[in-house]
Amino acid sequence: MVLYTIALIVHAIICVVLVLVILAQTSKGGLDANLGGAAMNVFGGSGASQFLKKWTQILALVFAASCLLLAFLVKNVSGGAAGGIQERQKKIKTTEQKAPAAKPAAAPASQPTTGK
């Protein structure tokens, strides 16, 4: 359970950093434009583009690995709020009552025809 919690916190941090790195890339607007071109001042003319592109690729791979790790860890989580869910679902299935069968609708009353 502790390993799962730590992995989940690291995954959330990776998500936030990945979003910030993607937004910092220069395009038609984005975080760099909103910050007044701060990346251009720090990295130079084209340095920011290559630097951010490389870190986006690295963080994307780490994000995918983190997703796989969480997928394998989540099946081993037991106890706490997540524990016993399957047992409670089995109890629900055994206590379910079937709905009564619907009665067929009555035939419509015949209407008198007027001869004109």
Sorted by where each begins, the domain ranges of the chain are 2-76
Contacts of the segment 15-19: beta carbons below 8 A, 24+ positions apart: 15/63, 17/59, 18/56, 18/59, 18/60, 18/63
Q: What per-residue confidence (pLDDT) applies to 34?
A: 55
pLDDT tens digit at each of 116 positions of the chain: 788 889 999 999 999 999 999 888 876 554 555 555 555 555 555 556 788 889 999 999 999 999 999 888 887 665 555 556 667 667 776 666 677 777 777 767 677 677 65
Give Cα separations from 103 to 22, 23, 100, 110 (angstroms). 60, 60, 9, 21
pTM as predicted: 0.52
How big is the chain, counted in residues?
116
